[in-house]
Structure 1
Amino acid sequence: MNNKKQILCVEDDAAIIMPLRYALELEDWLVTWANTGMSAIQQIEQNHFDFIILDVGLPDLSGFEVCKKIRTFNHTPLLFLTARDDEIDRIVGLEIGADDYCAKPFSSREIVSRIKAIWRRMEIQQQLLAEKQQSISSQQPSNIWQCQDETLQIHYYAIALQLTRYEYRLLKLLIQHPEQVFSRQQLMDHVWEHPEHSLERTVDTHIKSIRNKLKQISPEHEPIETHRGFGYSLKRMS
């Protein structure tokens, strides 16, 4: 049985993928290569991957389109590659679900280093969750939510959530205003630095990610309430 970690590299330029593939295989990754967006989506639907490297400039679909599509059913860690270094591209890439973003030209060593850093954060998060879930009692603590601005962390049932910057801002806003219903546009205006460059669906993507992280800690609770056609609120929990 092969226990190597599986990585999907989505890139249409063989001159880029071949040295990157060699560097990843030296780190004991099992590399699968897709050169179009549609083939990448099919691969992800049919196979398990531990990591995804996704080029923005693909011949059929853009990497952004591919990411938005796969984030509807898959939350594998993902790193974008792009030939552009525009700030807006970086913002969009991170908002739609990427874990990191690297502009070309780059060295294979840099990519491997970024992957290791993301993977290390994941392993620490999983270890902490496993350890702390054992200490959760059936009795609710007096303070379910605790926000720490210094570390951009929110504790839920005494367990630290591993949140992105926008996830932190979004959840903190809801916590500060329990039972208040916010429209998607209101959430974007309060949370995002460049709301004019963001899509309302971005809010839905971030809410879904937050919900998944909350369920890992307390599967029986669903604190975020959806108001169809309008937005979201946080239930008052006691």
Structure 2
Amino acid sequence: MSAGHILVVEDEPKIAQLLLDYLERDDYSVSVLHEGSDAVDTIRAAEPDFLILDLMLPGKDGLSICREVRQFSNLPIMMLTAKVDEIDRLIGLEIGADDYVCKPFSPREVVSRVRTILRRVQQAPFIRGESKLSYAGVSLDVERFECMAIDTRIDLTPVEFRLLQGLMERPGRVLSRDQLMNLCYADERVVSDRTIDTHVKNLRKKLEPTLHRVLIQSIYGVGYKLD
């Protein structure tokens, strides 16, 4: 039985084959595209469980694909890139990527990260086990992985969902960036404070136009809380 369907969009055949070999060895079903033009249509049709997406692609680049996918899907996305500048990584996170791996990379590490992210999404792990949470006009259905702001459905990435859930589990309590990083990245990977700031910024952009108020409050030098 397949552990899940992974779509790899990577224009370098050797890298694509390496990922395919290691993912299939871990019982995943893998499809590969070598250019970006048909990626969004393929995602709509095939509905993969996970997307591994190269940043620089012929036809359509990875950032554009990620941005389009986030308009209709919460599909977990890992971006691959040869660029190592932090700004490139943060741009990927800002438009909805869940993880970011720089080339050259260890294929074993990629498989491990895929497994960890999928396990979180599929098991919907939550701190105290609540199936539904609500606060100040926002509700989360953790079993269905759905977020509603008043009567409007809000599409969140898995990381955004976990971050918001962590804050809603502790209304009024200030959570430090380190605490939020532990909630969002249970595999203890090293991410910067700016990564959490970017996810909070994205949540605000998605929630506040509907709520017409500031929901997530910044506490200078400490972290964030629900207002």
For residues 135-193 of structure 1, what are the alpha-carbon distances to aligned partners after superposition, in whole Å with 9 as ceiling and x for unaligned? 98xxxx9x84433226444xxxxxxx8597136644xxxxxxxxxxxxxxxxxxxxxxx
- Give the 3 Å change call, closer, same or farther, for CA 88–151 of structure 1 in structure 2: closer
Instruction: Report the counterpart of residue 233 of structure 1 in structure 2.
Output: 213
| Distance in 2 separating the partners of 1:70 and 1:122 | 17
- Aligned-residue offset at 1:54: 0.1
Give SS of 1:31's match.
strand
Instruction: Report the counterpart of residue 121 of structure 2 in structure 1.
Output: 122
1:39 aligns with 2:38: yes
- Give the 3 Å change call, closer, same or farther, for CA 54–206 of structure 1 in structure 2: farther
C-alpha RMSD of the superposition: 3.4
Within 5 Å, give how 1:106-121 maps onto structure 2. 106-121=105-120
Within 5 Å, give how 1:14-33 maps onto structure 2. 14-33=13-32
Contact 1:152 1:168 in 2 (8 A): no
Give SS of 1:53's match.
strand
- Aligned-residue offset at 1:3: 4.8
Contact 1:152 1:165 in 2 (8 A): no
- Which residue type is aligned with residue 127 of structure 1? P
Structure 2 unaligned residues grouped into runs of 5+:
135-167, 186-194, 216-225
Instruction: Report the counterpart of residue 129 of structure 2 in structure 1.
Output: 131
For residues 75-101 of structure 1, what are the alpha-carbon distances to aligned partners after superposition, in whole Å with 9 as ceiling and x for unaligned? 111111111111111111111111111
Give SS of 2:210's match.
strand
Instruction: Report the counterpart of residue 175 of structure 2 in structure 1.
Output: 148
1:93 aligns with 2:92: yes
Contact 2:53 2:62 in 1 (8 A): yes
Instruction: Report the counterpart of residue 141 of structure 2 in structure 1.
Output: none
- Who wins on radius of gyration, i.e. which is larger? 1
TM-score by length of 1: 0.61
| Distance in 1 separating the partners of 2:105 and 2:214 | 42
TM-score by length of 2: 0.64
- Aligned-residue offset at 1:123: 4.5
1:9 aligns with 2:8: yes
- Aligned-residue offset at 1:122: 3.0
| Distance in 2 separating the partners of 1:96 and 1:75 | 12
- Which residue type is aligned with residue 165 of structure 1? I
| Distance in 1 separating the partners of 2:10 and 2:199 | 32
- Which residue type is aligned with residue 55 of structure 2? V
- Aligned-residue offset at 1:4: 3.5
| Distance in 2 separating the partners of 1:63 and 1:135 | 34
Instruction: Report the counterpart of residue 165 of structure 1 in structure 2.
Output: 196
- Aligned-residue offset at 1:104: 1.1
- Report how many aligned residue pairs link the two structures: 174
